[in-house]
């Protein structure tokens, strides 16, 4: 495949590099990314991978690219993404790289890159890695200066210890953990060590994800919901393939909406006057709940990397994305599913049933629709011009978001498909429908122009 084609077919976004193994994600690509990371000055790099069947191939080629460029490699093997992100500082490294496609299907793969402070590579860092990889702007080391390779076998144990450092006893708590055939065993180990009784689902690592699709949603976690409802469990949690995400099920078996969970976590940690970072498609209900505590929301572009960047700023107590990425900046700037599970255990222990906790957060009607377009960028630009003529509160940081005072609508281009996604929300159904229709009208006008 020509070099230009190889780099035009994969997605290098806020979550790193993602694509399909054997097409956009190949050992050639991972070698070059390793070389590029070393060329950017990383002399010691922690690497790990999720449980996908192609992970060992890509991990070996990634390590080869790093080492032949002079960087030492510390491999933690199969591990969760937050384990690798935390391990960068544990092993005195300059960067961390995880071979993972996160919650994507088994055919997918990719790379996530981490800084020593636990935050994902910034947009500027990602752009430079992409440039160096594309242009082959790196140098290989002499035969006697290649990097060393070592294995670290205690990373998962250190992750458990880090989680338990701020956790109390959870004796008497009963939790069901749906590992999703991925790398979330750290959650099980941490909860059990804290004294909780843990029942597991899909706990065997299997990169084909035979138990359920990797992304934990209301539709994919039906088995977890039924098991929690049929037992005396206090709650259930579910991870994606690399365990940076965590979603929850309350004691009745009800899947907890991500916006509600975001509000519960944020209200627990944020003091009056503090801020919380959340993407611009987060529900109004989160802002309404936090306003009662004099806590404000800082809106970010969609993507946990953007959330983490804002969460790293002074005065920001928490960052969250309703898809299941939760960030406590005083703990780590990486979304940490196992840590989130332990925080949830503490909340339930101290404040009562999860159903009662989420009952304090309203749910408003959100409307969504995807529209086929041929020129996504030009459509978004045209929508932006038109809405700025009609509204004052227009945000173009990520698509076009319009705040109408009593609601909002958002028009964003899909990152992977020829689609424009339209979202609208208000505090009542009729207004949500009206805002969705209005947003679609703007897209239709832009498409026909």
How much is the pTM?
0.93
Number of structural domains found in the chain: 3
- Looking at the structure, do residues 14 and 98 belong to the same domain, yes or no? yes
- Looking at the structure, do residues 278 and 201 belong to the same domain, yes or no? yes
Question: Taking 90 as the threshold, does the pLDDT of residue 292 lie above it?
Answer: yes
Task: Name the more confident of 1 and 89.
Answer: 89
Q: Which tokens is 154 given?
A: 């205690």
Known active-site residue 102: yes
**Which residues, in sequence order, are bridge partners of residue 327?**
319
Q: Which of 136, 153, 170 is the last residue of a domain?
A: 153
- Looking at the structure, do residues 291 and 174 belong to the same domain, yes or no? yes
pLDDT at position 3 is: 44
Angle, helices 185-193 vs 337-351, to 10°: value is 40
- Looking at the structure, do residues 338 and 205 belong to the same domain, yes or no? yes
- Looking at the structure, do residues 372 and 288 belong to the same domain, yes or no? no
- Looking at the structure, do residues 130 and 94 belong to the same domain, yes or no? yes
**Which residues, in sequence order, are bridge partners of residue 151?**
75
Question: Taking 70 as the threshold, does the pLDDT of residue 276 lie above it?
Answer: yes
Question: Taking 50 as the threshold, does the pLDDT of residue 2 lie above it?
Answer: no
Supply the DSSP symbol for 182: S
Question: Taking 70 as the threshold, does the pLDDT of residue 373 lie above it?
Answer: yes
Q: Which tokens is 207 given?
A: 């990169």
Question: Taking 90 as the threshold, does the pLDDT of residue 324 lie above it?
Answer: yes
pLDDT digits (tens, 9 = 90+) for 25-82: 999 999 999 999 999 999 999 999 999 999 999 999 999 999 999 999 999 999 999 9
Q: Which of 316, 338, 359 is the last residue of a domain?
A: 359
pLDDT at position 10 is: 42
Residue 210: CB atoms within 10 A of its CB come to 10
pLDDT at position 11 is: 60
User: Out of 15, 102, 275, 323, which one is annotated catalytic?
Assistant: 102
Distance, CA of 218 to CA of 43 (rounded, Å): 43
* Confidence at 14, pLDDT banded by 50, 70, 90: low
Burial class (CB in 10 A: 0-12, 13-18, 19+), 430: exposed
Closest by CA to 62, choosing from 115, 88, 100, is: 100
- Looking at the structure, do residues 73 and 221 belong to the same domain, yes or no? no
b/e code 240-275 from CB counts within 10 Å (16+ = b): bbbbbbbbbbbbebbbbbbbbbbbbbbbbbbeeebb
Distance, CA of 332 to CA of 349 (rounded, Å): 23
Question: Taking 50 as the threshold, does the pLDDT of residue 5 lie above it?
Answer: no
- Looking at the structure, do residues 106 and 167 belong to the same domain, yes or no? no
**Which residues, in sequence order, are bridge partners of residue 78?**
49
Q: Which tokens is 414 given?
A: 């899909």
* Confidence at 15, pLDDT banded by 50, 70, 90: low
DSSP alpha helices (H): ranges in 68-165?
A: 81-90, 123-135, 155-164
Q: What is the mean pLDDT of residues 441-447?
A: 94
- Looking at the structure, do residues 172 and 299 belong to the same domain, yes or no? yes
Q: Residue 380 maps to which CATH number?
A: 3.30.310.50
Q: Which of 100, 118, 153 is the last residue of a domain?
A: 153
Report whether 36 contacts 28 (CB < 8 A).
no
- Looking at the structure, do residues 127 and 19 belong to the same domain, yes or no? yes
Distance, CA of 129 to CA of 123 (rounded, Å): 10
* CA of residue 75 relative to chain centroid, distance: 22
pLDDT at position 449 is: 74
438: containing domain: 366-448
* Confidence at 190, pLDDT banded by 50, 70, 90: very high
- Looking at the structure, do residues 33 and 129 belong to the same domain, yes or no? yes
- Looking at the structure, do residues 96 and 233 belong to the same domain, yes or no? no
Taking all residues of the chain, what is their mean pLDDT, rounded to a whole number?
94
Q: Residue 352 maps to which CATH number?
A: 3.40.120.10
């Amino acid at each position: 495949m020509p070099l230009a084609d190889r780099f035009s077919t994969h997605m290098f976004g806020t979550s790193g590099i993602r694509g399909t193994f054997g097409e956009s994600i190949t050992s050639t690509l991972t070698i070059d990314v390793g070389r590029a990371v070393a060329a950017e000055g990383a002399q010691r790099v922690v690497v790990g991978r999720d449980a996908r069947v192609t992970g060992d191939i890509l991990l070996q080629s990634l390590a080869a690219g790093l080492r032949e460029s002079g960087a030492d490699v510390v491999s933690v093997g199969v591990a969760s993404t937050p384990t690798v992100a935390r391990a960068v500082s544990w092993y005195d490294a300059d960067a961390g790289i995880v071979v993972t496609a996160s919650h994507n299907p088994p055919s997918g793969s990719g790379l996530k890159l981490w800084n020593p402070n636990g935050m994902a590579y910034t947009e500027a860092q990602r752009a430079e890695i992409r440039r160096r990889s594309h242009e082959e702007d790196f140098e290989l080391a002499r035969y006697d200066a290649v990097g060393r390779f070592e294995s670290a076998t205690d990373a998962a144990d250190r992750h458990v210890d880090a989680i338990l450092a701020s956790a109390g006893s959870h004796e008497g708590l009963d939790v069901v953990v749906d590992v999703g055939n991925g790398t979330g065993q750290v959650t099980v180990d941490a909860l059990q060590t804290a004294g909780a009784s843990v029942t597991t689902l899909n706990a065997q690592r299997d990169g084909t994800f035979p138990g359920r699709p990797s992304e934990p949603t209301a539709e994919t976690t039906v088995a977890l919901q039924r098991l929690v409802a049929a037992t005396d469990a206090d709650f259930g949690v579910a991870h994606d393939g690399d365990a940076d995400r965590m979603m929850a099920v309350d004691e009745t078996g009800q899947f907890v909406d991500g916006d509600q969970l975001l509000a519960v976590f944020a209200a627990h940690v944020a003091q009056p006057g503090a801020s919380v970072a959340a993407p611009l498609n987060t529900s109004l209900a989160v802002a309404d709940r936090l306003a009662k505590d004099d806590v404000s929301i800082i809106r970010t572009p969609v993507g946990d990397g953007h959330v983490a960047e804002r969460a790293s700023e002074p005065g920001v107590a928490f960052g969250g994305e309703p898809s299941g990425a939760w960030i406590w900046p005083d703990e780590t700037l990486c979304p940490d599913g196992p840590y989130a599970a332990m925080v949830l255990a503490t909340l339930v222990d101290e404040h009562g049933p999860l159903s009662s906790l989420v009952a304090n957060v309203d749910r408003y009607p959100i409307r969504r629709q995807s529209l086929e377009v041929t020129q996504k960028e030009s459509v978004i630009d045209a929508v932006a011009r038109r809405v700025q003529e009609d509204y004052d509160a227009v945000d173009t940081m990520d698509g076009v978001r319009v705040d109408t005072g009593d609601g909002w609508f958002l028009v964003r281009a899909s990152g992977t498909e020829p689609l424009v996604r339209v979202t609208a929300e208000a505090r009542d159904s009729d207004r949500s429908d009206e805002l969705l229709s209005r947003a679609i009208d703007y897209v239709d006008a832009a498409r026909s122009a």
